[in-house]
Chains A and B, each alone.
Chain A
């Protein structure tokens, strides 16, 4: 790192208190961000109401196998005669909630451990940071693959593996932010007033560091979806009958001529990940224009 982690005016920021975010549309009106948000919201709605709007049961097998799109189906049927359109819709309900859960959990675990490391320092800091070093010594997908294989193939184990590889970037980011704030005047004066460490962290430090953490989290939703579907593609996630996008693409390799088997689930992954990445990018411009969150890790799939 040549650039100092934080510049001087970031080191002594104006103190922020918890408050309702003011809506300043001027900074938020990025066309890409709005398009992304619209697509993401649409997908989330699909994920919720998928069981209602599916034209067929996504698991129901049929004699009309490997039918091309048209002939009464929007996206054709797969090698067991299941309706691909219904399976793509149903896949939204599998991947999106798990990816959101994964990101929320990584933020919570990473932020808490990072705050502890940054605030208390010494051996606690040393221990937590060495663990993050160890996790980050592997490329993300590779470590997640190894862990998921050891835990056994299931969607929940895939989420657990993804969680183990993704919390360290939040821990590092949070630790850096806390370290930068720990010595600032208002935090020290709070402590002189007798604030407990917990109160100091929550009242004085937390409101000032949520911005960058949120930005990293929003950029990470797309990565989480790619990671989970990648693990399923490797056969380490969703088990066969489940309609999951990554495993649907994996199944498509066996029936290479039937292009619709792989095309549509892949497009589903692509559109939702692009949408979340556009949102994250716009959020970064709005909330955290100076820092380079990319460097913290995250997008290294």
Chain B
């Protein structure tokens, strides 16, 4: 033990920092499972009656057998470890709406969600950084005020309503956007490699399928992007304003460097660290957004699954989604923290 401690201490400061962050994340993942476990056991309804039906539940022998079989007669701590063991074996229970294993359902739905989430996060980071930088540079001018109003409005729109409105106008009325789902009905699903239809279609060399899948991505990605752009623009603006105040930026401007060089090599480099934090946050709001909008586009991802499970009070389904999204969110924030450590030496030396 002492020897390992010494090797860790002697190792590179970044590794030490990374190790600390990984351990914190693992502890939080355990915390997340604790939350879902407690919530599952909080259900007012009796799981025995729910699973056995009324007649069998009246027979004490059957009930006792059932409780013993599922470990319901054990203390809660033992039940928690059983639950944890099940999770580690990929067993998230059986959904009461689809009657399939929740883990299998989620595995099938995840690529669809990843496809829109990746699209939306990339697009909103690009747009948010550009708009935020413009707003900071034009502080107090008309364009700054316009951007402030637009981003505040973006933060205030109920995403589920925006999705419905855009779907109605762009698809139903104007026929600009394609209909619901991931592909039009006259296309076949490309051979599954990554589960992302656009990439699979490209890998299979089916260009027409690729463009169809891409066009179906348009509306869901647009809705999620509009929401996160508001958050990012405001944050980037604050971060850039702070950097613009720094002496080294003033020096760069004073010595007559072109604005483009100042922005790219001085301002955005300095602002990249606070912006990274908010990308992690934005990813969380994006995942929440998928739960609220996917069902409107009949997009077969975990968001639609969550909507369906929630509206049927399908507890294993809801908990599965909560667990999956919680872990994904922690993972993204861990990556953000690690990037932090790479970008900013002060973080890892602290």
* Closest A residue by C-beta to B34: A134
Residue B68 is within 8 A (CB to CB) of chain A in the complex:
no
Q: How many chain A residues touch B (Cβ–Cβ < 8 Å)?
A: 55
| Contact (Cβ within 8 A) B307 A138 | no
Contact of A145 with B322 at beta-carbon distance under 8 Å, contacts A234-B291, A266-B165 already known: yes
Distance A9 CA – B344 CA, assembled complex (angstroms): 25
- Which residues of chain A have C-beta atoms less than 8 A from B32's C-beta? 134, 137-138
* Closest B residue by C-beta to A223: B155
Mark each residue of chain B from 321 to 343: 1 if its CB lies under 8 Å from any CB of chain A, else 0.
Answer: 11001100110000000000000
| Contact (Cβ within 8 A) A134 B161 | no
Residue B170 is within 8 A (CB to CB) of chain A in the complex:
no
| Contact (Cβ within 8 A) A142 B274 | no
Mark each residue of chain B from 292 to 304: 1 if its CB lies under 8 Å from any CB of chain A, else 0.
Answer: 1001100000000
Distance A251 CA – B43 CA, assembled complex (angstroms): 27
Nearest CB of B to A29, in Å: 15
Q: Interface of chain B, helix or strand or loop or mixed?
A: helix
Contact of A152 with B44 at beta-carbon distance under 8 Å, contacts A137-B28, A141-B292 already known: yes
- Which residues of chain A have C-beta atoms less than 8 A from B261's C-beta? none
Contact of A249 with B168 at beta-carbon distance under 8 Å, contacts A234-B310, A274-B153, A301-B285 already known: no
* Closest A residue by C-beta to B270: A2
- Which residues of chain B have C-beta atoms less than 8 A from A3's C-beta? 242, 274
* Closest B residue by C-beta to A138: B326
**Which of B44, B168, B346 has the most A CB atoms < 10 Å from its CB?**
B168
Residue A140 is within 8 A (CB to CB) of chain B in the complex:
yes
| Contact (Cβ within 8 A) A263 B39 | no
| Contact (Cβ within 8 A) A138 B322 | yes
- Which residues of chain B have C-beta atoms less than 8 A from A137's C-beta? 28, 31-32, 326, 329-330
- Which residues of chain A have C-beta atoms less than 8 A from B165's C-beta? 262-263, 266
- Sort chain B's interface into a size bin: 35 or more
Contact of A281 with B152 at beta-carbon distance under 8 Å, contacts A138-B325, A253-B296 already known: yes
Distance A250 CA – B160 CA, assembled complex (angstroms): 8
Residue A212 is within 8 A (CB to CB) of chain B in the complex:
no
Distance A137 CA – B6 CA, assembled complex (angstroms): 31
Distance A234 CA – B156 CA, assembled complex (angstroms): 18
Nearest CB of B to A34, in Å: 14
Nearest CB of A to B252, in Å: 19
Residue A77 is within 8 A (CB to CB) of chain B in the complex:
no
Distance A32 CA – B307 CA, assembled complex (angstroms): 36
* Closest A residue by C-beta to B35: A134
| Contact (Cβ within 8 A) A146 B322 | yes
Contact of A262 with B161 at beta-carbon distance under 8 Å, contacts A2-B273, A137-B330, A138-B326 already known: yes
Counting from the closest, the 10 A-B pairs by CB-CB distance are: A266-B161, A141-B288, A235-B311, A139-B284, A146-B322, A273-B156, A150-B39, A149-B318, A274-B156, A234-B310
Task: Give me the interface of B with A, judged by CB distance under 8 Å.
Answer: 28, 31-32, 34-36, 39-40, 42-44, 148-149, 152-153, 155-162, 164-165, 168, 172, 231, 234-235, 238, 242, 273-274, 277, 281, 284-285, 287-288, 291-292, 295-296, 306-307, 309-311, 313, 315, 318-319, 321-322, 325-326, 329-330, 344, 346-347
Query: Can you add 6 more A-B contacts, CB < 8 Å, to A249-B158, A270-B161, A277-B152?
Result: A134-B32, A139-B288, A145-B322, A146-B36, A235-B311, A299-B155
